[in-house]
Structure formats: C-alpha cells, structure tokens
Structure 1
Amino acid sequence: MSVPEYFTHSCPGRIWISALILWLILFTLGNGRAEAQQFGAKNSSPHVTISAPEPLQDLLKNHFQLPIAPILDETARATFMRRAQREISELLATEGYFTPAINLHLDPSSKTPVLEVIPGPRTFVTEVSIEFKGDLATEEPSRHARIEKLRAAWSLSVGQPFRSPAWEEAKAILLSSVAGEDYAAAEIEESKAEVDSASSTARLSVILDSGPAFRFGDLMIKGLNRYDPSLITGLVPFKTGDPYRRDQLLSFQTKLQNLPQFSSVAVNIDPGAATHQAAPVEVVLSEAQAQRVSAGGGYSSNTGARGELSYTNNNFLDRALRLNGGLRIEQKRQTLSTTIDSVPDQAGQWFSLGAGVERTFIQELETIREKAGVSRNQLSGKAETRLALNWQREDRQPTGGVQQVNQTFVLDGQLRYRSVDDPLFPRDGSVTELRVGGGSRQLLSDQDFIRTYVRHQSWYPVGDRHVLFLRGELGYTFAPSRFGIPQEYLFRAGGIQSVRGYAFQRLGVREGQAIVGGRAMATGTIEYNHWFTREWGAAIFTDIGDAADTMRRLDLNVGYGGGIRWRSPVGPLALDLARAHNDGKLRLHFSIAVAF
C-alpha cells in the first residue's frame, strides 16, 4: 500500500477502532470511580458542610476534619466550634488571612449544618528588609553587586500576598544562594514577619550572616583500600585554594557515585570558621564487591525464552578497569561477548574495548558474526556520545537463498540525548538518537556504504493519569547494493518497539524464503496510556512502518491494538495484543526479565 492509499483507506478505520478502545477503558474507569465515590459517600459522609470562597475550599477540605457523627446538643456544638475556630484560624493564617469569621448555622433548604468561613481581608507585604553580616557585607564592589542581586531575587516582594509557605521558601532560597558560593557556613541570624491585622499588612525583615569566605583545602579520603587514590583525585573538579562552590562538590560526589567500584560515596567539607582558608574536603567511600557472577532469565516475543550468565570484575588487572563478560542463550539468538572499560576522566570520557560472537536465526535468515571494536565514549549532562572503530565478519545463510560471507571495517559515530523526568518510567520528556557510520572497500570492507539512522521518542503527560507517547525512526544506508553489507548496517522492522502486529523483523526484503535487511526503513508509533494505579495501566496504540531496499519501495504496514502496563520493581513490563492491518492476524507481544 502506498502512502496516499494508506492515509485514504486505512486511517479512518484505525482511528475509529483506537478511539472505541480508549472510550471503553475510560468509561469503565469512570464508572468504577463513581461507584466507589457513591459507596464512600453513603458510609462516611460528614454531617456538616463547609461554605468558603473557592480558593480556600481545597485547603479546608484537605486539612480540616469535619465531624462524622451528628451534632446533637449544645455541648457537642461548642466543642466543635472551639476546634474549628482554632484549627481554621491557623490554616487561614498560612495563606495571609488573620481575621476570619467562622459561624455554624442550618441551611434553610436542606436543614444541614453549614460551617460558614469568611476569611476577611488578606494580608499583603508592604515592606522587605534584607541585611547581611560577615564577609559578604565587606565594602567591595563585587560583594555589593552580589548583595544587590540577592535582594533583587527575593521571591516574596512588596505587593504580594503574605503566605507562610512563601515566606519560608523565600528564606530558604536566600540562604541556599549565599551558601552555594564561598560561604559554606552562612546562616540566617534573625528573621521576623510583623503582621498588622488591623491594616492587613506585613513587614518582613531578614538578617543573614555569611560568615567567612571558604576555599577548598586538601582531599581526605576514607574507606579506600583496594584502589589507587588516583581513581578519586582524577575526578576532582577543583584545585586546592579554589573558592568554595557547592555545585562542584555535588558534581564530584555524583561522579564518584556513578563509578561501579563504589557502593556509597559522601563528599563534604568542614564548615568550621577556623579552617575556612583551606577547608579539608572529606571523601567517605564504601567499596563495592570487586567481582560478581550473576545469572538471569526471561522471555520476549521477539527472540523467545532466554537464559544468561555474566561476570563482572571492577578491578581488572588491579587498575580499576571494568571487565564484563556474558553468555546469553535465546531461542533465536545466542551471544558470547566481553568488554573492558576504562575509568571515566574529568570530562566524562572513557574508552572501551570489546569482542564477541553471535548467532541468530530470525525469519529464515541464519547469521554467524564475529566482531571486535574500540570506542571512545563520553557522558556530559544529558548527552552521550560514542565514536567507534568496529570490525565485523558475517556469514549469512537465507533459507532458499545464496550464502554470503561479508566483512566490513566501520567508523561509527553515535549521539544520544536524553531529557526525561524518570529514566525508568518516563511520563514527560524525550530521547533522541543519531547514528552515522560507514565502511570502504579501500579499508577491509566488501562494500562501500554509509549508514544513517535517527530515532526520536517523546512522552507528554495528560492530566495526572494519562500519557501520550510518540515514536519515530528513519534509517537509510547509502550504497550501490545491499549485498556485501552485514545485517547490522541494514534494516528490518516488526515486533516490540517497532511495528507491533507483525513478527520480529518480519518487514524487510524477501530473499528466497527469508527476510533480510534492506537499505531503507521508516517506522512510527502513537500510544495512549492510562494508569489506574501507580503500578498498573492500560494502553492503546497504532504502529506504522516498513523496511525495503529503497525509499520508494517502502509499503506502510499498520498494526494497532491495546495492552497492559506494569511498573515492576525491575522495570516496565508491556503485554500487547496487536492486529496486523494487512492480513488481519492477531499477535501477542510480551517481554520480561528476571535476575537471580
């Protein structure tokens, strides 16, 4: 089916079915909630209702408990009103209402007691005084400029409503801003909020003592037994004598925590005034187990059941090199591999050396490949880059096709940018991946080619329980022909994280009875998730895509359906039932992994 035919004939039916599934899910959820609310109302509805201005309704409902039992006499009424006067007055004071009127009366129509809350005038800030003591108050242009900047950044300014949470937050931000640079021992010496209830005004004053200016001193390492101190000192982002910066201290701690050699890390300085000129930086470590053997198992509808055995050595050759070796046996794929990683440097760069052997039998295509490579990797903030040189030899045997042995030597570059709220269970954010690589007949390759690939995924929260997920990927290998190029540098589609409703790597180029990789690929996904609880949810989705030998031969295959989602302790699990639009077949897509 061509692109125009797909949008003309396929989209209406697909959209109608997806919309119907979504409506059924939401209708069932809505009825369940309504029934639960009605049941709760019949069994625990309060005998007193609250009447208050809209902005204060949620505050009172969430923090003031209404009586469940009826108020039968004056004694019960007086007891309730004393509690209401005290608790509601305290609640309203946090929002700047200091003269509320609270009355209890019967509603004329329903004869139900109504607690009427009239908050009175709101208090506004009319004056703010922020003074500084200590080294920061020294008459120097740089310090004066910093003080003016701190005052300008004060969040509870004149003219704003006085709220206790905002008052506490403003002080915390001020203290953090001062203590984050130079002044590790800064503290608020005095703070006052003078409220005049008669005029509904508040005057704020803060006196902050910065203390002396701190500089980093020598490194003091505790708990290091197995490794050379250079493993720690090589990641220090500051020098002895540099001005104290809290963000540098936290960055240093994070880098150490990310090293597999340590199970816990704490980095601090002594904020005592006596050592401010060279405050010792204390690093307290707990070393992780140097060697580990682990086993695991799982199942995926892509490659079937699997078992795996892995070995890790975090101190290979006693040089803090990390050795990883693994054997994975799946029904459709078997892999034996090993990698050696160096320790990341100050810039977040490290080198990897790896080799492996893999056999696959997927869609009547058997491949046996040997590979080896070296790469330079870097992790900087949300971006991860990789530049690698890879050699690969592949023996491919399609059922009913021609056996070939292909060899290539590839320069491969990869960029991945990740910006999500939760790396394991994202609800908001995106992940983008770019990859470009190629080989030449002039350098150990059987074919000239350049492979390009881009993938983008986005998550959009819709309310508290809904998430819209979009995914798109596009790949093309520039080459005279697909022959002579290993399958890793070509494209097939279908299965989990591709086009559901079709078997794993079912979409590609037919060769004999097998499906082999083509030079072009495009796929996309739109998925809507609803979470019934924090752990369990449901989804509806539509996938589209194909792989072929040229872009013009791409035939958009559509799959759609629904599934179950589970935020398991080891990661997200998806169980999907999808229908292939082309042949009407239903397929179950599922994966789970267990370590032991």
Structure 2
Amino acid sequence: MFITPYFPRFRSAPISIPVLMPVLLCLTLALTIGTAEAQLFWKKKPAPSITINAPEPVKSLLQTHFQAPAAPLTDEFARAAFERRAHREIRELLATEGYFNPTIAVLPAPPDKPPVLEVIPGPQTLVAVISIEVKGDLAIKEPGRLARIEKLRAAWPLRTGQPFRSLMWDEAKALLLSSVTSEEYPAAQIEESRAEVDAASSQARLWVTVNSGPAVRYGPLIIKGLSRYDESLIRGLAPFKTGDPYKRDELLAFQTKLQNMPQFSSAVVHIDTDPVVHQAAPVEVVLSEAQTQRVSIGAGYSSNTGARGEINYTNNNLLDDAVRFNSVLRLEQKRQTLAATLDSVPNQAGRWFSLGGTAERTSIQNLDTIREKVGMGRNQLSGNTETRLAINWQREDRDPKGGVHSVNQTLALDGLLRYRSVDNPLFPRDGSVTELRVAGGSKQVLSDQDFVRTYARHQFWYPVGDRHVLFLRGELGYTFAPSRFGIPQEYLFRAGGIQSVRGYPFQSLGVQEGSAVVGGRVLATATIEYNHWVTQNWGAAIFTDIGDAADTWHRLDPVVGYGGGIRWRSPVGPLALDLARGHRDGKLRMHFSIAVAF
C-alpha cells in the first residue's frame, strides 16, 4: 500500500518577518565590519622614526622583522642605544639568510628628516660542500638499501651553489629524517649535523649523519578501550599484518579510518619503537567509544525550499553488530522528507554497503510530486575518490497544475564517481571537485520508460593573492530516452536557484507543462564568481550564472543571472547571501541559506 493518501500536503507560504531576521542581521554585521575596515584603512599613518636604506630583498626582510624605534631619535644617547640594538639584531637576522659580514650604520639626517639606517649586507654565503652519511641497518651494503640512500641524497633540497639560509638548512634536515622514518625505520635520528661557515670566502660546508636504527616490522595488535564492539571489527580494518615492514602512511591511514568511524569519538594508533622489539613491534590502538544513540533537531531557511525544521535519530550499533542506522524527518515549506538508511562498517579497502528508503513530497513551480523510493548500494571511499553503485526502485506520483497527472515507476541502476581535491572540505579556497553520474532503467525490468541519464559537474577554486578567490562551476546533463514521460523527476533536469542559475526561482527553468515547470532531458549551466575576503570570516562576492534546462538541445535557451553577495564562514558552515538579477525578466531576487543544529 502506498502512502500517497496519507502524506500531509504542505503548501508554500510567504516569507515572514522572523525568517528575514537572519538576513537583516547578516547585512548589519557586514556593513559594520566594512565600515570599521574602511576607517582603519584611511587612518593617517604616523611618520617613520627611521629610513631604511638597503638593497632588496634585504630591505623587505628588515621592514618585516626588525622593530624600528617607537619614537624619534632626538638625542645622541637614544641614537647610540638604537645603533647598538640594530647591530646585534640585524646581524642575527641577516645570518639566517646567509649574510655574515654586514655593514650597519645609523647616518645623521637633516632636522626635518628621520635618521637613515644603512645596511650593506655583503656577499651571501653559498653552499660549497654537502656530505650525507647513513648509519644503522640502512647502511648495510645491499642493493635496495643503497638505492634508497641515493634517493635520499638526490632529494636533499639545499644544493651546492645555493644560498645558505638557516630556515632551508633546518627544513632540509627535517625532510631527510622524515623520509628515513617513513618506512621501516620509525626510530631513526639525526646523530650529527654541522654547518661550517667560512666568512672570508662566503662558503658553507654541511655535514649530516643519520642513524636509521634497526628495521621495524609489525607485531601484535593491542586494542584498548572497547566495551560494546568486538576486537575483530578493528583487526579487520588494519591495512597490515604481523611481519610486514613498518610504513608510516599505513599507520596514519589506519588511525584516520578509525577516527572517521561514527562508533568512536577518538582513536590513537602507536607503534613501539624500542629496538629490543623491532622484529615484532607491538601496535597499540587506543579507542574511545562514542555514544551509541543520538537524537538531534535542527532548523534553517533556504530561498530554494523555504523554512525548515528537522529531527534526526542515529544508532551506531544496531543489533549490537556495529551497523549504523540513520533516520531523518525534515519538513520544509516546499519539500517534506522522511528517510532512513542502514550502513555496514567500511572494510579495509574503504568499501561498505547501504540499504535505505525515502518518502518525499514536493510542491515546486506548480508541480506536486509524491515519491517513494527504496534502494541498496555499494559505496567506496579511497583517498580523494568516492564511488557508488546502487540499484533503486521508486514510484512517483506527478501532478503538474494544468498538465497531465501521472504515476511513474522505475527500477534504475545508478553509478556515481566523485573526485574531491580541495584544501578545506568545508571552506575550499584552492582545488576542485568533479562529479560524474550515470543511471538507467528499462521497460523490460519494472520501468515505465527506457532511459539512460548522464550528468557531469566540475567546480574549481583558484586563490588570487591572500584575500581573493576565483570560483568556476559547470554542469552538463542529458537523458537519453524516447520521451520525458514515464521518467521520474530525479532522472530529468530543472535549473534555477542556489548552486544553479541565481536570479531565477528554484527549479523554475525547465519544460513548461500547463502552468507548471517540469524536468527536461537536457541541462547546461555555468558560474563564474569572484570572492574577496575582507576579514578572516567575512567576505563579498560578485558573480554571473548562465544556463537552462529543456527537453531537447535545440530548445535550450540559456538565461543569465548576475549580482553580488555576502559570504560568512559561520561555525556551522558556509553562508551565502546573494542579490541577483535575472536578465530575462529584469527582476531582483535574494538567495540565502542557513542551518542551525540544536
């Protein structure tokens, strides 16, 4: 029996004053911050107490790291005290850049001018000799070890003929030690490091000796902190077995996998580096179990679907078998959803299976739909790549105002590939996300229409300086089918609204059927957006969107939306408040989304 007669029929409602309060608050804060920034920018800077005369980039180094006098040097006593401090601090500062024979003087100036700090850095010291020696097990004359030593020497970044800088010297030693400890030798140490500088010839001779210690192999897995779960759950996730050579990346990946599991609030993985047990070093796993069951509620608002409230129930140990059960009831003005999923524990390869069901009602652009869906899938997360292969059955009651009422069903095979490479998953500034999806159904197998849906989306963030970010987005979709009729809306396309074409209402771009807008078989949209961050958390953006959805390519009529908005890195996630103009109808529309969990 289907739930159509019993599902509540919510209708769109006008936006009330309480809903607009977050918008007004964001605008007020943004204007206040912008005014404060402008006042600081235009504030008159005090006159400098000294003038620095030095070649670039030494001048920039001094301006950044050397503290000028807080007050003008009005007498000889103040000038002499400053000159003594300048000699001491500037020599130390220039030595870090390889200048060991600088000439430093404070020159007098006319009464109306500040004194001149003249710095002649002298010749920069260059690296003349590099010696990297290895002791311990790694020094055994064996082809594999010899090749690894040569690889370590070839990767040494501070080359002969390069300037000798303290920072690069320290970084080179740290990189060398990290490379040795990454595989087999976690207890390796730098036994000796020496840099001899000949100031007369401006040359530096470098010596480094690394003691690898003994080669370490994995021993028994010692698990602590479990009370609800069996140790076999953890042992099955370990990417190594007893006797394998130690690899740091394996251990870190194992720890990260455990930390990401909802069953645990924390996880620490550590190997014993005592040379006595190097042939079978114990691996200790210390776990803290998370709360098994959790109920949470939340509220929010989006210009796409209106105000919303939701309640979520999660059980991380269903049937005492570490199976995760998650359910949510979400009520929005234009969409109401009841969903539940069961997820198995990801295995060593990051693969898990899921089973779920959804009941959903929408009322968008005069198209009312009620959808019931069940499905099962095979999911995998490997590094930056996420894949999903699922089989879904769904029934959709479709009622466009002024159009043809119909009930469609399909059994679809659905494949997803997503590659994510960004510097920050929540607030990306550099990187990209690519998503590919293919789905299809057949009349021969529980579907009302033959179809194959294809979809591609690419998002790209590029940093411009310290405070600017260029964002590009593009998406294409095409559903191969004799007709759009008989295909559920999930496998067709509409456009408009947030993350689509701003300046037009949510899903208002598509195929006109009566007075409703329904999904078509073709989609193409794109975005170019430029963000400027005024402070760490507040920014502004300008953008242009273009795109459309239609039933065929020759009916595709891309529209343009453009405008600007405010950006906020809120504690609960990114917030965007945009005012956009739809070029087709000339109307201004606001796009906004925020969510709060309780």
TM-score bin (small chain): over 0.9
Matches within 5 A, 1:329-340: 329-340=331-342
Q: Which residue of 1 aligns with 2:40?
A: 36
Give the C-alpha shift of residue 521 in structure 1. 1.3
Q: Which residue of 2 aligns with 1:399?
A: 401
Matches within 5 A, 1:312-461: 312-461=314-463
Q: Which residue of 1 aligns with 2:227?
A: 225
State the SS of the aligned residue for 1:413: strand
Please give the per-residue CA displacement for 1:409-438, whole angstroms capped at 9, x wherever unaligned: 000111111111111111111111111111
Q: Which residue of 1 aligns with 2:502?
A: 500
Q: Distance in 2 between matches of 1:326 and 1:548?
A: 33
Q: Distance in 2 between matches of 1:332 and 1:225?
A: 44
Question: 2:471 aligned with 1:469, yes or no?
Answer: yes
- Give the alignment partner of residue 303 of structure 1, picking from 295, 305, 319: 305
State the SS of the aligned residue for 2:57: helix
Q: Distance in 1 between matches of 2:497 and 2:124?
A: 60
State the SS of the aligned residue for 1:54: coil
The residue type equivalent to 1:279 in the other structure is A
Give the C-alpha shift of residue 270 in structure 1. 1.2
Q: Which residue of 2 aligns with 1:5?
A: none
Q: Which residue of 2 aligns with 1:154?
A: 156
Give the C-alpha shift of residue 38 in structure 1. 5.5
Q: Which residue of 2 aligns with 1:23?
A: none
Q: Which residue of 2 aligns with 1:198?
A: 200
Please give the per-residue CA displacement for 1:11-66, whole angstroms capped at 9, x wherever unaligned: xxxxxxxxxxxxxxxxxx99997863562513xx4311211111112221121111
The residue type equivalent to 1:431 in the other structure is V
Q: Distance in 2 between matches of 1:122 and 1:528?
A: 42
Give the C-alpha shift of residue 515 in structure 1. 0.9
Matches within 5 A, 1:535-554: 535-554=537-556
Q: Which residue of 1 aligns with 2:170?
A: 168
Please give the per-residue CA displacement for 1:119-177, whole angstroms capped at 9, x wherever unaligned: 11111111111111111112222222222221222111221111100110111111111
Q: Which residue of 2 aligns with 1:137?
A: 139
Matches within 5 A, 1:572-583: 572-583=574-585
Give the C-alpha shift of residue 534 in structure 1. 1.3
Is the 2:559–2:583 Cα contact (8 Å) retained in structure 1? yes
Aligned length: 567
State the SS of the aligned residue for 2:526: strand
Please give the per-residue CA displacement for 1:269-312, whole angstroms capped at 9, x wherever unaligned: 11111111110001111111111000000000010000000000
Q: Which residue of 2 aligns with 1:239?
A: 241
Q: Distance in 1 between matches of 2:585 and 2:547?
A: 15
Q: Which residue of 1 aligns with 2:597?
A: 595
Q: Which residue of 2 aligns with 1:69?
A: 71
The residue type equivalent to 2:40 in the other structure is A
Q: Distance in 1 between matches of 2:356 and 2:223?
A: 33
Give the C-alpha shift of residue 73 in structure 1. 2.1
Question: 2:485 aligned with 1:483, yes or no?
Answer: yes
> For the structure 1 residues 434 and 500, does the alpha-carbon distance in structure 2 shift closer, same or farther, using more than 3 Å as the test?
same
Question: 2:93 aligned with 1:82, yes or no?
Answer: no
The residue type equivalent to 2:566 in the other structure is I
Give the C-alpha shift of residue 108 in structure 1. 5.5
Q: Distance in 1 between matches of 2:38 and 2:292?
A: 55
Please give the per-residue CA displacement for 1:357-393, whole angstroms capped at 9, x wherever unaligned: 1011111111011100000011111111110000000
Matches within 5 A, 1:502-517: 502-517=504-519
Structure 2: 5+ residue stretches without partners: 1-32
State the SS of the aligned residue for 1:173: helix
- Give the alignment partner of residue 179 of structure 2, picking from 151, 164, 177: 177
Please give the per-residue CA displacement for 1:544-572, whole angstroms capped at 9, x wherever unaligned: 11111111101111111111111111111
> For the structure 1 residues 184 and 30, does the alpha-carbon distance in structure 2 shift closer, same or farther, using more than 3 Å as the test?
same
Calculate percent identity across the aligned residue pairs.
Answer: 73
> For the structure 1 residues 588 and 32, does the alpha-carbon distance in structure 2 shift closer, same or farther, using more than 3 Å as the test?
same
Q: Distance in 2 between matches of 1:38 and 1:52?
A: 28
Q: Distance in 1 between matches of 2:41 and 2:171?
A: 36
Q: Distance in 1 between matches of 2:147 and 2:402?
A: 79
Give the C-alpha shift of residue 528 in structure 1. 1.1
Matches within 5 A, 1:45-60: 45-60=47-62
Is the 2:386–2:418 Cα contact (8 Å) retained in structure 1? yes
Q: Distance in 2 between matches of 1:472 and 1:268?
A: 44
The residue type equivalent to 1:358 in the other structure is E
Q: TM-score, normalised by structure 2?
A: 0.93
Q: Distance in 1 between matches of 2:502 and 2:190?
A: 59
Give the C-alpha shift of residue 112 in structure 1. 2.0
Q: Distance in 1 between matches of 2:111 and 2:414?
A: 77
The residue type equivalent to 1:592 in the other structure is I
Is the 2:522–2:549 Cα contact (8 Å) retained in structure 1? yes
Q: Distance in 1 between matches of 2:151 and 2:540?
A: 49
Q: Distance in 2 between matches of 1:146 and 1:479?
A: 57
Give the C-alpha shift of residue 442 in structure 1. 0.6
The residue type equivalent to 2:45 in the other structure is A
The worse-fitting range, judged by mean Cα deviation, of 155-164 and 70-79 is 70-79
State the SS of the aligned residue for 1:41: coil
Q: Distance in 1 between matches of 2:351 and 2:496?
A: 35
Q: Distance in 1 between matches of 2:155 and 2:443?
A: 62
Q: Distance in 1 between matches of 2:38 and 2:397?
A: 61
The residue type equivalent to 1:36 in the other structure is L
Please give the per-residue CA displacement for 1:435-460, whole angstroms capped at 9, x wherever unaligned: 11111111000111111111111111
> For the structure 1 residues 35 and 333, does the alpha-carbon distance in structure 2 shift closer, same or farther, using more than 3 Å as the test?
closer
The residue type equivalent to 1:477 in the other structure is T
Question: 2:260 aligned with 1:258, yes or no?
Answer: yes
State the SS of the aligned residue for 2:43: helix
Q: Distance in 2 between matches of 1:186 and 1:570?
A: 42
> For the structure 1 residues 361 and 38, does the alpha-carbon distance in structure 2 shift closer, same or farther, using more than 3 Å as the test?
closer
Q: CA RMSD in A?
A: 1.7
Is the 2:48–2:114 Cα contact (8 Å) retained in structure 1? no
Is the 2:220–2:281 Cα contact (8 Å) retained in structure 1? yes
Q: Which residue of 2 aligns with 1:586?
A: 588
The worse-fitting range, judged by mean Cα deviation, of 525-534 and 106-115 is 106-115
Q: Which residue of 1 aligns with 2:26?
A: none
Is the 2:72–2:114 Cα contact (8 Å) retained in structure 1? no
Q: Which residue of 1 aligns with 2:127?
A: 125
Q: Which residue of 2 aligns with 1:7?
A: none
Q: Distance in 1 between matches of 2:36 and 2:283?
A: 57
